[in-house]
Amino acid sequence: MRSRRAAIVLLGALAAGPVAADSDTPTWQGVYEGVIGKAHVVAALAPSGARYVYLGQANDLGLIVSDAGGALTMVETLAPGVDEDAAKEHPELVSGAWTARFADGALKGVWKDAHGGHERPLALTRISTDDESVGALTTGDRPGAYDERWLRGAPPVVAAGAEASLGTVSYRPMRDPLFGGLVPRLTRAPAGADLAAVNAGLDRLQRAQRVEDRECLQAQRAAAAPNGAEALKNEEKGAKDSAAALTPTYATARLLTIEKSGMVFCGGAHPNLEVAVYTFDLADGALIAGGDDADPLGPSGLGRALDIQAAKRRAAFDALWMSDLRARIAAGEKAAPQNSDDDPHCGQVLLDALRSDGAAIAKAVYPTAQGLAFRFLAFPHAVEGVCSGGYPFNPLVVPYAALKPFLKPNQTLLPSPAAPAGK
């Protein structure tokens, strides 16, 4: 354990100048890439939540920044989220110190360990002026400069388990060695499928999942670190049990559906239920459900197969699934009425959402063996864990035969209503 004396010496450097106010953007804010000694690092500097990472490593280190006219002094901590008071109370959190000068978009200076020894030169060049501190997390398929550089240096995913088959495809799960998340890669696909394009899309999903898993862990670490090194260690240990797995659930000659569901905790008061479903068109590798398109039934989504772009056609289609939903809610309540007036009424939550948002109610739409599934995501946190699964109306499955009036002529994407859909 580092001595309290060493930590206080490092923290004393903060008196050189106050950190800029949150409302101001300091000239040195941004994302940097460079070296400490011979080690490749990326840093995200901001008035609070500053952090950096050695490429190839899972976790961020924190930086408490003090600015005196471009001369920066930074106390390095085992995780972001540690402020000066927490570092004084828990000196074992202090892992080093930077002294550097910012000029012409670059930082040059010296790194030292917590005892003021093992000096290493540092030289970093700014690659973005965005705030990518731990308080401004970036997720999704388009990570910021900080996470993008981290992805480039991260260890490759590895095969995890034996090859498996589902209908027309075979696949192998690929595991993130740092966070444990699983995303499949296809090893066999039907004739006419673009195997390379589909696997490229699956790789993008895995990249997004790695960023999400990493950023969630960093947020958890930032929340736990002010309570000391032992609390930080316990948080990191517990996070290893919550990695997500994306699993193929349905495949035809043209479609591949992959589902992810689980409780995700990224710090804060409570975990959140995350439900995600992704559907690929095997013919060209396009992600037609679960992507960034706000409307999963739009022209680039399942609208590839459904003739619902005209306003009247779309209104009739929405009336089909909404009336089916209302009927199933009523049937479910009749079969198993609410047991307690104090418990949230899941069906009522959905009916209220329909009245408020109509067909725009938050939902995922994706093909299954039984029909087109509508999974509703409009539940508040108080009821989402109960209502988002195990009820006959969520997901609502509309049989393919019922979709026949809305299918485009000669479409081959969705299963033919004339024959049962099989895996």
Q: What are the residue ranges of CATH 2.40.128.120 in the chain?
A: 4-138
**Predicted model pTM:** 0.85
Confidence of residue 143 (pLDDT cuts 50, 70, 90): confident
Q: What are the residue ranges of CATH 3.30.565 in the chain?
A: 155-292
Classify domain 4-138 at the CATH topology level: Lipocalin (2.40.128)
pLDDT above 50: residue 342: no
How much of the chain, in percent, has pLDDT values that exceed 90?
A: 64
pLDDT above 80: residue 390: no
Which tens digits make up the pLDDT trace of 205-218? 999 999 988 888 89
Q: What secondary structure letter does DSSP report for 394?
A: B
Mean pLDDT lowest among 166-180, 308-322, 338-352: 338-352
pLDDT above 50: residue 20: no
Q: Could you tell me the CA-to-CA distances from 398 to 205, 301, 320, 402 in Å, in that order?
A: 27, 17, 9, 7
Which tens digits make up the pLDDT trace of 118-138? 999 999 999 999 999 987 755
Confidence of residue 241 (pLDDT cuts 50, 70, 90): low
Higher local confidence (pLDDT), 310 or 11: 310
- Directed axis angle between helix 229-239 and helix 195-224, to 10°? 150
How much of the chain, in percent, has pLDDT values that exceed 70?
A: 80
pLDDT above 90: residue 316: yes
Q: What is the rounded end-to-end Cα distance, in angstroms, of the chain?
A: 57
User: What is d(CA 319, CA 312) in angstroms, rounded to the nearest whole number?
Assistant: 11
Confidence of residue 97 (pLDDT cuts 50, 70, 90): very high
pLDDT at res. 275: 73
Strands (E), 2-137: 30-36, 39-45, 50-54, 61-68, 71-77, 94-103, 106-113, 120-128
For residues 98 and 76, the answer to whether their CB atoms sit within 8 Å is yes
Higher local confidence (pLDDT), 218 or 7: 218
Mean pLDDT for all residues in the chain = 85
Which tens digits make up the pLDDT trace of 46-60? 999 999 999 999 999
Mean pLDDT lowest among 135-144, 234-243, 291-300, 410-419: 135-144
Alpha helices in 336-413 (DSSP H): 346-357, 381-387
pLDDT at res. 272: 63
pLDDT above 60: residue 66: yes
> CATH number for the 155-292 domain, one of 3.40.50, 3.30.565, 3.30.360, 1.20.120?
3.30.565
